[in-house]
Amino acid sequence: MPLIKIDDREIEVEKGITVLQAATAEGIEIPYYCYHPALSIVGSCRMCLVEIEGMPKLQVSCNTSIGELPPERKKDGKYDMIVRTQTEIVKRERENVLEFLLLNHPLDCPVCDQAGECFLQDYSYKYGRAHSRFLEEKRVRKNEYLGSNVIINHNRCIMCTRCVRFTREISGTNELFVQARGDNSKISIFEDKSLDNLLAGNVIDICPVGALLSTDYIHKNRFWNLEEKKSICTDCSVGCNILVYSQNNRIFRINARENHSVNGYFICDIGRYGFHRYEDAEKVTSPLIRSDGGFKPISWEGALKEIYEQFSRSKDGEKHQIVGIASPFHTNESLFMFGRLMDNIFKDKSIIGKLPFIEDYEIHFDSGFRISKDRSPNRQGLLDFCLNLEDEILQKVKTGKVRLCYALDDGVDRKLDEEWESFFKSQRFLVVQTYAMTPLAKLAHLILPGPSPMEREGTMTNDQGRIQWLKPSVSLTNKTRPDWEIIMEFMNTVGKRELKYSSVNEVNLEMGERFPSYRGMTFFKIGYQGLPKKNIATSRPSEGGQAGNTVT
Amino acid sequence: MDLIGFIIICIKVVVVFAATMLAVMGMIYAERRISAFIQHRLGPNRVGPKGLFQPLADGLKFLMKEDIIPAAVNKPLYLLAPAMLLIPALMTFAVIPFGSSLTLFGRQISLQVADINIGVLYILALTSVGVYGIVLAGWSSNSKYPLLGGLRSSAQLISYELAMGLAIVAIVLMTGSLRLNDIVTSQQGHLFSWYVFKQPVAFLIFLIAVYAETNRLPFDLAEAEQELVGGYHTEYSSMKFAMFFMAEYANMITAAALTVTLFFGGWDIPFVDEAAMGNWGALLSGIAFILKTAFFLFLYIWVRWTFPRFRYDQLMNLGWKVMLPLALLNIFITGGILTIIS
Amino acid sequence: MATVVKSYEPTFRDKLYIPALFQGLMLTFKHMFKKKVTIQYPDEKHVPPEGYRGLHRLNKYPDGRIRCVACEMCAAACPAHCIHIVPEPSPWEEGKERYPVRFDIDLLRCIFCGFCEMACPEKAIELTEIYDFADYSREGLWIDKAGLLEIYELTKTQNYYTVPNDE
Amino acid sequence: MAVFKPILTRYIHRKDSHTLSGYKNVGGYKALEKMFKTMAPDEVIEEVKASNLRGRGGAGFPTGVKWGFIPKDSQKPTYLICNADEGEPGTFKDRLLLSKAPHMMLEGMIISSFAIDCHLAFIYIRGEFYQEYKVLEKAVEEAYAANFLGKDILGSGFDLDVVIHRGAGAYICGEEMGLIESLEGKRGWPRIKPPFPAVEGYLMCPTIVNNVETLACLPHILNRGADWFKSIGSEKGSGPKLYCISGRVNNPGVYEEPLGILLTDLIFKRGRGLIDGRELKAVFPGGSSSAILRADEIDGLQMDFDSLSAAKTMLGSAGVIVMDETVDMVSVCLNIARFYEHESCGQCTPCREGTTWLVKILNRIYQGKGSLNDIDMIFEITDNIGGLIDPEASGGSFGKTICPFGEAVAWPIRSFVEKFEEEFIAYVEKGVDVS
């Protein structure tokens, strides 16, 4: 392990990492533009120059790797490298580079969406000089559309070429290139292409200035107005880590969050712009009961009473009378509660299944980034918690006399095929737990309002068995309640239990008690990065005090 | 007393009451205008000619205001307090002679409501009763600031009533009578027969004590807005609130009249024998009395907008440690001189 | 030990107090006859001095385009959080590419500190000399973009209060 | 001084010097036979090291040492690239070799390839050199036909293929990393070092980039031995060198002289003095990228790498550009700045933005609209692009760009303003040319 010294700090670092990485890890700020950990190093911005003892020139710290020196050549007897980031020369150099970068920069921060999270702003403030010495006219170019969602503002571009390298190295689609040379060079797109690959939105994220802009967010808001929440994407079973930016309970944009076990630095555009679906959806804000061909609002108490009456009337000994339709779009906590409801409350009378998935093709990128073909976020959890899940439920219930059904709805982007439609239509009483007026909800006799995916809280298990915490990005409104709470009320009402979980964390703890592979997967433990599921076989758990196989 | 005498007294009562109330209104107007002038402002000048009807507008406004009685107050006492303050203030005026006697229809009518022989004592007694109004208002409001105001007021009263009384004793010594008419008569003649020249120290003590007595600046500690949010009348509104102010102004008028009576020869015009001029003399003496009183009223306002408020301890210091010994000394000296002369 | 430093030793005359009292009385008496400063407001109007911070306005370019680019710097600088802006891409071909589709100021919240004016990079928002804009409702004191632009028209060439009142 | 017999250019006046037969007639490809018979690759490297041959492309890096940088245990193939992208203003020596003695260079390439175990070599030739390309193409064909190239060369078991690649006309592709990128089919943007091309170059494999002239020297070294080669010239640099003389001299052209010849000799003896007997005003000793020298600085100045470095300029490609008293230095400076602005690749910030800025300022001065402050600005901007030639004076801060282009811009322009400041000031003050 080489021992290096950066400014006054002694740091022991891994061999082969760069000075910039070592300094950043240690919390010493070295400014940079063109460097990005996921991309190749070009060293062209010249912002990260540092002074290294024994080197005649200033060195670009992003491309200077740290090696081990033989004992007799160690600096000061023990260091493998002595780096200085705060000397006069380095400071002057940063000033000069910033001056060059700002020569043709329009300084239109007031209209720039990047303002507030712009490295050009930050570094100018920290390291730049206050005045411009450039007397001539600035270079002015028109904005261009690179793709349907990306606009480039050439005037703001500092030619770091992160975006070009992204399309070459990460998306592998090669849409972007640098056109012309010298002062005339600009980021451009090949004439026969457009920047519409499924990772295109990431170039907006990685652009250190306001050159690449999202048409979805342009001129909508200002960065400092937005509230940043760390969450995970629920648009496919990869479970990418995201940052959700909202103001006044309205989501404005979604950015990628770094998690090397899941998605690296990037997210796909499906997840990035997916939140719009929930904006357009017709929301369910209160329990609704069918009346006169339509729905009318009803209180929670009334809804639960109705459920009790309908479900207790069915206790006439018939087998498989109650069907539960689970959904892989829900959190582990909700599915755990649902599994408990079906397995233990209705016991032998119930069967539990799920709606069929509409499969998409799986998308792989050269860099290893993938978009799973399973577009539901939590099938793994569904399989774990709804243990006697029937895949061929439709075949089974056709012969049975199912007349009561409790369904968790998949959400706005799922269609219902005819077979299922006729099944649901044949129900004497159909309770649907949903957040929007989906085709399924429209068939219901009673609709219970739950949270939309952006409002849910709990754990999700991705297709690699990694348990991640889904944090609500916006808060619950109106009369909607958390999914697990609705199911708990259901259990208390129909099953005469007295469950009193006050938060999703308590459900999570209970879930861990019953399912050892999920034991201890609390938010405090898994944090914002998630943890892989424990590899412990799960047997069917039962409610305490009941006969049956207990879980150790 | 015959019927006509009774009617005359009734008329006198009505006239004096009306005059006092009118003077109160005038005072309100004067106070606002003069204070404005001192501060380079114009003051009320839009209601009626030169804003003369402003007090009417004020009164009307007070009448229209919602009369709030807070839930926590001691209601009977709370309602009683304004009256307790206003009535003694008006009653005091009964013994003050405001002119030489008038001869109408062969009757000699003295321009005084009641010429009682213990006029001075009557005045001292009534002004002391007035303070009950303040204390009651403060206490019955059941609120800390009014209570503090009321307490301050009673403490202040004790400190000053004594000095004031002793200052008057010097006058009584010289006159040999408690009857106010006698005091006025004894000052007739030339200018220097006024007690202000014979008893300057008593005058000064009396004047200062009177300011404290009437709760006027620089001794308005009972209603110090900055510290006590208005003092004893914080919880009052509408006409009851107005009554406190009417009482204060009535008290001022009485005090001014008393000052004139005791030290400035009352209705006396120096070097003029009013009695000899008959009814014209009575009229002139009345005008002289009003003018003298008006000057002191002006002095009140003038002082108010000139001097800052005393701190509480300063006020007590002045009352007990300066004015009381000084008044006693004054009596001692007066007595000594009178003994030597006689 | 603290040292007591007496800056002033009262003389005998001072200790008498009476002369000082008279001095004071004379002073206030003199002032009674000085020129009055009262401005009879609705009849005559006070013309505020240069730099007075009154009602806001939104400036326009000579061609009539609003100067504001909806950067929300004013809203960020506002200590009372009274400025509410909804930005949008501008409909004009030339010039700045962003403009406010809504620009509301809650005048009841505003403390007229002028920070918005200082923060504005486009010299778009300015405080005018207008001080009398009272209203009977809270809604009436919520000024929008149209209102702010109207204020600009009223004040762009001359002082609001020196214009003869002929409205 | 003994009369120097040209080595590289000795036979170029012959009509068939560019053909295989012509080359063989004057002893060509002898070194190859000798090498295959008697030498191992390491011995070749040692021989070249011993000859003290320094790269003729501009930087003057010892060729043998460069070869030695190739990792011994690398599993990757090694490549040799002949840099025939001669773009430096005032330089035209490689062009002469390419058109008149291509086989000499090819022989050098084969020697070099043998030394570094390369089996695929490239010639990156400047796109504008069409005639030279034709000649070269013919020469390669002939070499293949004569089994100097191809499989099992001369029965030695050594294979070598040579590919000629024509550039598209970018100055920056003469820089080795830019050249490699260009050869890979990418944009000609210099790659950041480290890794150096000898470790990771063409297609991330060890690659050696040598100048045409350097390669042409190799057969002679092998033929006559390192000691002979070393004996030519002074101690500071050995071997023959092609000097290009251009500008206001009576006899411009390429002259072969040993390293270390006096600059004055070059101008006044070989170049036969200035046109019309004018006064010498200034000289670029090594192409437009070298700092300019005033007439009073060139007395006794030897044309070799170290002497010129000491004079705060450089030998570079030995393109001597001579200017007489009638030359307007501001105009020259602006012209050079424009050239570099046009040729800047635009990758790193200081060079991309700085060159444009310099042109704008110089243009302003040239048009008589400048200020004295602008002259100071030129100093600062040049320092910010390339730093000072003298590391001491610039506080150790030089070389601020990925490739040496930054220095190539900064040093000459700075030297202009430094050495002819009065002309710039005159432009500023009067708005006219004084000289």
- Give the pLDDT confidence of B167-206 residue by residue, as tens digits: 888 888 888 888 887 787 788 777 777 887 888 888 888 8
Taking only the tens place, the pLDDT of each residue in B94-142 is: 888 877 777 777 777 777 777 788 888 888 888 888 788 888 888 888 8
Q: Does pLDDT of A14 surpass 60?
A: yes
Residue A220, chain C, CB below 8 Å: the answer is yes
* D400/A136 Cβ within 8 A: no
Task: Provide the pLDDT confidence category of residue D432 given band limits of 50, 70 and 90.
Answer: low
The whole-number pLDDT of residue D389 equals: 47
Counting one residue from B and one from C, how many pairs have CB atoms under 8 Å apart?
A: 34
Per residue in B241-267, pLDDT tens? Answer: 888 888 888 888 888 888 888 888 777
Give domain limits for chain B.
74-341
In this model, does residue B221 exceed pLDDT 80?
A: no
DSSP, res A4: E
Mean pLDDT for D398-408 is 83
- Which has more pLDDT, A398 or A377? A377
| Beta carbons of B133 and B157 less than 8 angstroms apart | no
- Ordered structural domains, chain C, with CATH: 56-155 (3.30.70.3270)
Contact of A81 with A61, CB cutoff 8 Å: no
Q: Residue A400: pLDDT band by 50, 70, 90 thresholds?
A: low
What pLDDT is attached to residue A399? 62
Question: SS3 for A246?
Answer: strand
Compute the average pLDDT of residues A22-39.
93
Q: How confident is the model at residue A347 (pLDDT cuts 50, 70, 90)?
A: confident
Lowest-confidence region among A324-333, B144-153, D223-232: B144-153
The answer for residues whose C-beta is within 8 angstroms of residue A358's C-beta and 6 or more apart is A375, A414, A415
pLDDT at C30 over 80: yes
Residue in chain B closest to C26 (alpha carbons) equals B306
Q: What is the pLDDT of residue D66?
A: 92
- Residue C104: the pLDDT is 94
Would you state the pLDDT for residue B226? 73
CA distances from B232 to B160, B244, B245, B250, C69 (A): 19, 10, 12, 18, 58
**Average pLDDT over every residue of B62-83:** 85
Token representation of residue C50: 């240069």
Report the residue from A110, A143, A220 with minimal CB separation from C121: A110
Least confident among A326-340, A466-480, C5-19: C5-19
Assess whether chains C and D touch, using the rule of 3 or more C-beta pairs within 8 angstroms. no
- With CA atoms as reference, report the closest residue to A500 among A514, A521, A484: A484
- Between A302-306, B312-316, D227-231, the lowest mean confidence (pLDDT) is in B312-316
CA–chain centroid gap for C68, Å, is: 20
Cβ of C36 within 8 Å of Cβ of B37? The answer is yes
Q: What is the mean pLDDT of chain B?
A: 83
Helices (H), B92-143: 119-140
- Return the number of other C-beta atoms located less than 10 Å from residue A189's C-beta: 19
Instruction: Report helix, strand and coil shares of chain A as percent, to nearest 5.
Output: 30, 20, 50
> Which among A111, A220, A225 has the least Cβ separation from residue C69?
A111
Mean pLDDT of D259-281: 90
- The answer to whether B97 and B115 are in contact (CB under 8 A) is yes
Task: Tell me how far apart the alpha carbons of residues B251 and B133 are, in angstroms, rounded to a whole number.
Answer: 13
D contact set with A (CB within 8 A): 170, 172, 187, 189, 191-192, 194, 341-350, 352-357, 360, 364, 377, 384, 387, 391, 395-402
* Residues A408 and A326 sit within 8 Å (Cβ to Cβ): yes
What percent of chain B shows pLDDT beyond 70?
99
Instruction: Say what the pLDDT of residue A223 is.
Output: 92
* Structural element, H or E, at residue C39: none
Task: Report which of residues A268 and A402 the model is more confident about.
Answer: A268
CA distance A83 to A532: 39
Grade residue A226 by pLDDT with cuts at 50, 70 and 90: very high
pLDDT over 80 (residue D2)? no
The reported pLDDT for the residue numbered A317 is 52
For A486-505, the pLDDT digits (tens) are 999 988 888 888 888 999 99
Is the CB of residue C36 less than 8 Å away from at least one CB of chain B?
yes
pLDDT, greater one: D162 or C33 = D162
Side-chain half-sphere exposure of D153, counting CA atoms within 13 A: 26
pLDDT greater than 60 at residue C150: yes
Q: Is residue C80 scored above 90 in pLDDT?
A: yes
Cβ neighbour number for residue D87 with a 10 Å cutoff: 20
Residue C49 Cα, gap to closest chain B Cα (Å): 21
- pLDDT above 70 covers what percent of chain A? 93
* DSSP-based three-state secondary structure for D323: strand
- Greater confidence (D218 vs B73) lies with D218
| Amino acid A544: pLDDT | 47
Q: What is the pLDDT of residue D44?
A: 92
- Examine chains C and B and say if they touch (3+ CB pairs below 8 A): yes
Please, which pLDDT band fits residue B3 given cuts at 50, 70 and 90? confident
CA–CA gap between residue D215 and residue D81 (Å, rounded):
10
Which residues lie below 8 Å from residue A286, measured CB to CB, with a gap of 6+?
Answer: A297, A298, A449, A478, A479
Q: Does the pLDDT at position B215 exceed 90? A: no
Report, as an integer, the average pLDDT of C82-103: 90
Query: Which tokens sit at A280?
Result: 């357009």
Structure-block tokens of residue B237: 């509104």
Rounded to whole angstroms, the Cα distance separating C39 from C45 reads: 7
Cβ atoms within 10 Å of B276's Cβ, excluding its own? 9
Q: Is the distance from CB of A267 to CB of A369 less than 8 angstroms?
A: no
The pair of three-digit structure tokens given for residue B81, joined into one six-digit string? 């307090």
Residue D184, phi then psi, degrees to nearest 5: -75, -5
Q: For tokens 């796109």, what's the residue?
A: D127
pLDDT of A552 reads 32
Tens-place pLDDT, residues A179-225: 998 889 999 999 889 999 999 999 999 999 999 999 999 999 999 99
Confidence of residue C127 (pLDDT cuts 50, 70, 90): very high
The answer to whether C28 contacts B306, with C-beta atoms less than 8 Å apart, is: yes
Residues 135-194 (A) with a CB less than 8 A from some CB of C = 143
For residue A72, what pLDDT is reported?
86
The pLDDT mean for chain A works out to 87
Helix/strand/coil percentages in chain B, nearest 5: 75, 5, 25
- A neighbours by CB contacts (3+ pairs under 8 Å): C, D
Is the ipTM reported for this complex over the cut 0.90?
A: no
